[in-house]
């Protein structure tokens, strides 16, 4: 098998350039012994009661979380837009939009997540597993997940899958799933192929791993003319491709991190509802 797994330093220089299709967890006496037995029995009884109460609390908490996470949305497999599951009973006037960030954790992940958290909105971070191989990257994804953000698979080395053998494609996907699961205790539910290039074999692996595939509606932060916050804010909010259901592609980059607060504000001002990815149904669920 050809060696396609390059080092992170070499690959990171090419990630944005490779996105050129991306726009659209003691004996005692008898009496004393009897007294101890009684004490132990009372303690045991109290312990049982405490454990029962704790189990009840945990069950109620889990049920509460299940109720909160009732899936409301889905990804259209043809357009990759976000849509209501129950379109007939949904609010026809609600304009949905999904925020996604590729190539994390690249150095700006926490800043982006904190900016989103301050605005009380969520997003989906697509991970390149190679960036989680050091302690900092690994802990970054743990923190972002603990903040309530969805974590997705973006292959291990940002691989253009159609250039890889089937064994290599499988390794790119499975290796990243494994390291994500090690970090956050669960496998990712969503997959995005780098460069938007998906293969039939990668789809097969993705389905075996119970993931939903998505590309995007539009994205600009990889283009040189939009690699500053002002230009990126303007094009993101005013592009002709911004419409209800838009799946917005961004990257873990400094200029994007700077632009996030105003992009969020602008979307809300335009009447958009920014969807929490945890409310999006995975096709396998």
pLDDT of residue 250: 99
DSSP string, 152-189: EE--SS---GGGS-HHHHHHHHHHHHHHHHHHHSS--S
DSSP string, 10-73: HHHTTTTGGGTT--------HHHHHHHHHHHHHHHHHHHHHHHHHHHHHHHHHHHHHHHT---E
User: Is residue 47 scored above 90 in pLDDT?
Assistant: no
pLDDT of residue 259: 99
pLDDT (tens digit, 9 = 90+) per residue, 101-154?
A: 999 999 999 999 999 999 999 999 999 999 999 999 999 999 999 999 999 999
pLDDT of residue 21: 54
b/e for 138-163, b at 16 or more Cβ within 10 A? bebbbbbbeeebbbbbbbbbbbbbee
pLDDT of residue 38: 34
pTM of the model: 0.80
Percentage of residues in the chain having pLDDT higher than 90: 72
């Amino acid at each position: 098998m050809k060696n396609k797994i390059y080092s992170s330093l070499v690959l990171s220089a090419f990630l944005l350039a490779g996105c050129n299709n991306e726009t659209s967890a003691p004996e005692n006496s008898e009496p004393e012994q009897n007294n101890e037995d009684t004490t132990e029995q009372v303690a045991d009884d109290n312990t049982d009661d405490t454990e029962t109460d704790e189990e009840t609390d945990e069950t109620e908490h889990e049920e509460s979380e299940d109720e909160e996470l009732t899936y409301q949305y889905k990804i259209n497999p043809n357009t990759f837009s976000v849509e209501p599951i129950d379109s007939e009973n949904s609010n026809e006037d609600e304009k949905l939009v999904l925020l996604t960030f590729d190539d994390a954790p690249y150095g700006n992940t926490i800043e982006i997540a904190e900016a989103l958290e301050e605005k009380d909105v969520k997003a989906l971070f697509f991970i390149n597993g190679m960036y989680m191989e050091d302690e900092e990257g690994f802990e970054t994804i743990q923190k972002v997940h603990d903040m309530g953000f969805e974590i997705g698979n973006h292959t291990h080395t940002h691989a253009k899958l159609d250039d890889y053998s089937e064994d290599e494609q499988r390794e790119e996907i499975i290796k990243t799933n494994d390291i994500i699961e090690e970090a956050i205790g669960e496998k990712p539910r969503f997959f995005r192929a780098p460069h938007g290039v998906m293969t039939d074999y990668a789809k097969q692996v993705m389905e075996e791993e119970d993931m939903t595939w998505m590309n995007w509606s539009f994205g600009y932060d990889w283009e040189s003319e939009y690699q500053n916050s002002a230009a990126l804010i303007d094009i993101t909010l005013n592009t002709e491709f911004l419409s209800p259901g838009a799946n917005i592609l961004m990257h873990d980059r400094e200029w994007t991190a700077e632009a996030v607060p105003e992009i969020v504000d602008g979307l809300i001002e335009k009447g958009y509802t920014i969807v929490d990815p945890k409310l999006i149904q995975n096709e396998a669920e």
